[in-house]
Amino acid sequence: MNDALQQRPTRIVVDLDALTDNFNAIHQRVGVPVMAILKANAYGHGLVPVAQHMQRQGVQQIGVAFVEEGITLRQAGITTPILVLGGILGRQAAQLIEHNLEITVSSLDKLRKVEEAAQALGRKAVIHLKIDTGMERIGVHSYSCGSMIEAAITSQWCEIKGIYSHLACADDPSSPMTALQLECFHEACAHFTRLGAPMPIRHLANSGGVLHFPDTWLDMVRPGILFYGILPDPAAQATVAVRPALSLLSQVVYFKVVRAGHSVSYGATWTPTHDTRVVTIPIGYGDGYPRALSNKGDVLIRGQRHPIVGRVCMDQFMVDLGADGTAYNGDDVVLIGEQGGQRISIEDVAQRSDTIAYELLTRLNERIPREYLNRR
């Protein structure tokens, strides 16, 4: 255990075995290679440790959002192919090529910038062509992508490894938009057949696509939040058996009796009507724990649910044990996870915070030390 874990009672525990099981369950369902999406600090789970673990498991492809994430992984010794999914500026092309990162090319202009950088370095760039089939984020529109695809095929400095798009509504199994996007994507891919060029790896399915739309699996899938054991939406169908890999834990650091009529925390938003026992937990919105849980959230202490009272502070918050509740300094506190047969899921916390699990996970920042479990 490192010094940070020994010092700070608040910690994130990541079950690497759960990530392995989730990855294998997804792969078994789709039957094609799975790109592990590790952007945003691996959805709060820790970029480098998760990448190192997945490389040991033999993952064939990693996806990140930014060049900086890719460079971090290369500097950590990750040799697995890495695709940078986000849009790039021309000045970043050389960095991507130098660090053997695969590049998203989303327009003819971007292609030319990548070609210039590759020629200057004297080495080919590995690219994936990004097609916009309805997301309207980045990517050349599917109905006008022919010239970019033809230019990429004939490029002397670019090697086309993949072509992809992103599904906007696949979290909803009843949405008709996914079928429309798939049709647009197939029309874009048809340019390779028309031009007599080999078809690159086609990847389209995100977590929702994996769960709901087998037609989108194609040659590779890109599950994000599903890989971490969480469904992408309350409407999603659990067609793959996954389990959460992350728990958020802390400990009691202070105990007191608050008298009736004495308010707790900033703004005096909660005042007990009777004497009660209150404990302080050393984590707050400065760590990414939502301030929106003020007077709304709860935690597990000694296997019992207890409510958060008063406003969540930057570094700590208070919990009401009631008139007869018991806790001592050093007692474990579960904010996300299980204790004593009770469970607080990330979905529960997201609903009470009026947000989504994606945001909560990626907000858990580096102030919180992370511990990794790997029992196998």
Helices (H) and strands (E) in the chain, counts: 12, 18
- 292 by Cβ neighbours in 10 Å (0-12 / 13-18 / 19+) ranks as middle
Using the predicted structure, report yes or no on whether residue 5 has a pLDDT greater than 80: no
With cut-offs at 50, 70 and 90, classify the pLDDT of residue 2.
low
With cut-offs at 50, 70 and 90, classify the pLDDT of residue 4.
low
Residue 358 amino acid letter: Y
Q: Which domains does the chain have, with CATH numbers?
A: 32-228 (3.20.20.10), 246-373 (2.40.37.10)
Using the predicted structure, report yes or no on whether residue 6 has a pLDDT greater than 90: no
Interatomic CA distance for residues 291 and 335, integer angstroms:
14
Burial letters 174-193, b for 16+ CB under 10 A, else e? ebeebeebbebbeebbebbe
Report the pLDDT value the prediction gives residue 66, as an integer from 0 to 100.
97
Instruction: Answer yes or no: pTM beyond 0.75.
Output: yes
Query: What does the pLDDT average to over 224-249?
Result: 97
Query: What does the pLDDT average to over 213-217?
Result: 98
With cut-offs at 50, 70 and 90, classify the pLDDT of residue 376.
confident
With cut-offs at 50, 70 and 90, classify the pLDDT of residue 305.
very high
Report the pLDDT value the prediction gives residue 90, as an integer from 0 to 100.
85
Does 39 qualify as catalytic in the annotation? yes
- Pick the closest to residue 279 from 314, 327, 323 (CA basis): 327
What's the pLDDT tens digit per position in 260-303? 999 999 999 999 999 999 999 999 999 999 999 999 999 999 99
Query: What does the pLDDT average to over 232-242?
Result: 95
Report the pLDDT value the prediction gives residue 324, as an integer from 0 to 100.
92
Residue 82, beta-bridge partner list: 62
Using the predicted structure, report yes or no on whether residue 78 has a pLDDT greater than 60: yes
Report the pLDDT value the prediction gives residue 166, as an integer from 0 to 100.
98
At 15, list the tokens.
């079950």
With cut-offs at 50, 70 and 90, classify the pLDDT of residue 147.
very high
Interatomic CA distance for residues 67 and 22, integer angstroms:
26
Cβ–Cβ < 8 Å for 90, 98: no
Q: Which of 143, 254, 266, 328 is catalytic?
A: 266
Interatomic CA distance for residues 318 and 305, integer angstroms:
13
Does 113 qualify as catalytic in the annotation? no
**Beta strands in the chain, from DSSP E residues, in sequence order:** 11-15, 35-37, 61-64, 82-84, 102-105, 125-132, 140-141, 158-164, 201-203, 246-251, 254-258, 276-281, 298-301, 304-309, 317-322, 332-339, 342-344, 370-373
Query: What does the pLDDT average to over 355-370?
Result: 97
If you average pLDDT over every residue of the chain, what do you get?
Answer: 96
Report the pLDDT value the prediction gives residue 204, as an integer from 0 to 100.
98
Instruction: Report which DSSP code applies to 173.
Output: T
Query: What does the pLDDT average to over 90-113?
Result: 96
Residue 174 amino acid letter: S
